Amino acid sequence: MVRILEIKESVFEDNNRQAGLLRERLKKEKTFLLNLMSSPGSGKTTTLKETIPYLKEELKIGVMEADIDSAIDAETIAKTGITAIQLHTGGMCHLDADMTRQGLEALETKNLDLVILENVGNLVCPAEFDTGAVKNAMILSVPEGDDKPLKYPLMFSIADVLLINKIDVLKYFDFDLEAVKERVLNLNPHIKIMPISAKTGEGIEEWAQWLRSETKKWIEE
């Protein structure tokens, strides 16, 4: 057991070093990288599809869709008129910094202001690996339940933004929105919480404005 922990620590240490180097490179290239995480079915791709029209006229955007298999998400995003690539993880349930770097090189980030990495759908593994992103965002959808901050505290602790999606179906689920906010803020007092509906568009403009502001701040600093 001790030897396994030592190996795991070594893996995380190396990944953190690579993630730091990747952020330095992105800073020089003036490219903002967002890591978007959630469980499967929370609405990551639909949320991106609704967000991109608010930004693509003023920012050059690229999206990396990570999945164990299939290219359906990248095909969906490409229909918005921006550059999108699919990253297959070979069975792994997360991306690390080196895998992210490979994706960025394929995307040619020197010509992009904003890159969004849609991580593999999982509330455990992606939270453990620094991808080199400037900011982390996560989506919790109403049907998943309001107990997720209690079950997966690390994910909520590392996120800069929490999007609570599918609020259009709140009345059909036993989901306590205020309880979720309280639980999340207890874990992470600095997180920004935004209730949204990717289906109706509610809250998407506010989320897009946050993303626009953070991107420009990163580019101009």
* 29-85 residue pLDDT tens: 999 999 999 999 999 999 999 999 999 999 999 999 887 566 778 889 999 999 998
Q: Is the separation of the CB atoms in 136 and 35 below 8 Å?
A: yes
pLDDT value at 27 more than 50: yes
H-helix segments, 79-147: 97-107, 125-128
**β-pairing verdict for 32-38 and 161-165:** unpaired
Q: Any idea where the domains of the chain sit in the sequence?
A: 2-220
Answer CATH for 2-220 from 3.30.43.10, 3.40.605.10, 3.40.50.300, 3.40.190.10: 3.40.50.300
pTM of this structure: 0.92
Round to whole Å and give the CA distance between 163 and 139: 5
Q: In this predicted structure, what is the pLDDT of residue 7?
A: 37
Q: In this predicted structure, what is the pLDDT of residue 4?
A: 37
Round to whole Å and give the CA distance between 76 and 190: 33
Chain centroid to Cα 37, Å, comes to: 4
**Would you state the structure tokens that stand for residue 68, as one six-digit string?**
């164990």
Q: In this predicted structure, what is the pLDDT of residue 69?
A: 62
Residue 150: other Cβ atoms inside 10 A = 13
Strand partners for 136: 35
Which amino acid is it at 71?
A
Q: Which DSSP string corresponds to 181-221?
A: HHHHHHH-TT-EEEE--TTT-TTHHHHHHHHHHHHHHHHH-
* 82-139 residue pLDDT tens: 999 888 777 677 789 998 999 999 888 888 999 999 999 899 999 999 999 999 999 9
Using alpha carbons, list the distances in angstroms from residue 113 to 30, 211, 214.
7, 11, 11
8 SS3 class:
helix
Length of the chain equals 221
Q: Which DSSP string corresponds to 71-116?
A: SHHHHHHHTTTSEEEEEE-TT-SS--HHHHHHHHHHHTGGG-SEEE
